[in-house]
Structures are given as structure tokens and as C-alpha cells.
Amino acid sequence: MQLPPKERVIKYAAASMVGVTVGSSCLLFFLWLGWDENVANTASVAVSSVPAYIVNRYWVWQKKDANSLKREIAPFWAMAFLGLILSNLFVGWAKTRTDEKLLILAANLSGFGVLWVAKFFVLDKVLFAATPEEHLEPPPIL
């Protein structure tokens, strides 16, 4: 049984913080290693997408059935990499104006932030939408 929408939004926001923390930490680490900003950004998205998917699927939407590569995982990664494209555009723009790593990080977060709300609705209504079985009320206890 899925959580009410308000609770899903709150948990989605909390789950997003996991993704942001992991992704931002990776980005800063990779930049610290001297990696190119776009390569570092791509690697940080690849790394942070795994815990983001797991936390969203199991904790926010409380899905317990089998994972589906075609119906869930591939579209989740596609959305993550759509965010990456926007983020790389934002990071590239920021890089032409500054070498400050924190400003580059802010550009990275802004790119992903643009898709954050839309992603909730795609996850809620499509990827992790409740199945008919999940809408059923549990049997009464006798």
C-alpha cells in the first residue's frame, strides 16, 4: 500500500537530499582530483543514481515487487542523464565565468533542480505508480 501523496512528497524531498549529498560529494571529489568538470559531473551522476533509485523505489514508493529494467531502471537513469545534460550545460556556462568549485557545484545543482518537480510526477504516476493490487485494502482482522 502506497503512502498518501503528501507523505510521498516529503519522503521524495528527503530522498533527493541523499542523491544530492552523494552526487555533490562525488563531484567535489572528482574535481579535487583534477578531473574535467563534465567528466566529473557524468561520473557523479552515474554513482549517485544507484542510491537515488533504491531509496526512491523502496522507501518513498514502498515498492516490494521485482525491479523492472525496462519499466523502471532504464527510465530512471534516462531522467538522471537528462538532468546531467542540463547540469553539464549549466556547469559549462559557469566554467566560462569562474573557476570557483562551489559556484560550479551550484550550477550542477541548478541543472538538476530544473527537473526535480517534473521527475516526482513521472515517478509517482508512471515508474512507481501503484498497481491494482496495491490499491486493495487489507482483509479485515477477525
- Within-domain flag for 15: yes
State the pLDDT at residue 35: 93
What lies within 8 Å, CB to CB, of 111 at 6+ separation is 83, 84, 86, 87, 88, 89, 90, 91
Distance from the Cα of residue 106 to its chain's centroid: 16
pLDDT per residue over 80-136, tens digit each?
A: 989 888 888 888 898 899 888 888 878 878 888 888 888 999 999 999 988 766 555
Query: Quick check: is 136 in a domain?
Result: no
**pLDDT confidence of residue 79:** 93
Question: Is 61 part of a structural domain of the chain?
Answer: yes
Domain ranges, residue 53 = 5-129
Of 17-21, 33-37, 44-48, 106-110, the least confident: 106-110
Q: What proportions of the chain, in percent to the nearest 5, are helix, strand and coil?
A: 75, 0, 25
Residue 112 lies in a domain: yes
Q: For all residues of the chain together, what is the average pLDDT?
A: 86
89 touches 95 (CB < 8 A): no
pLDDT computed for residue 132 by the predictor: 67
**Does residue 63 have a pLDDT over 90?**
yes
Task: Give the pLDDT mean for 23-36.
Answer: 89
Nearest-angstrom CA–CA distance, 135 and 63: 13
pLDDT at 136: 53
> How far apart (Å, rounded) are the C-alpha atoms in residues 134 and 17?
27
Residue 100 gets the label, from left (phi > 0), alpha (psi -120 to 50) or beta, of beta
Residue 79 lies in a domain: yes
What is the count of structural domains for the chain? 1
Residue 142 lies in a domain: no
pLDDT at 140 over 90: no
pLDDT of residue 139: 53
Mean pLDDT over 30-50 rounds to 89
C-alpha cell recorded at residue 51 = 542510491
How far apart, in whole angstroms, are the C-alpha atoms of residue 68 and residue 27? 28
Query: Which of 1-10, 51-60, 111-120 has the highest mean predicted lDDT (pLDDT)?
Result: 51-60
In a domain, 71, yes or no: yes
In a domain, 140, yes or no: no
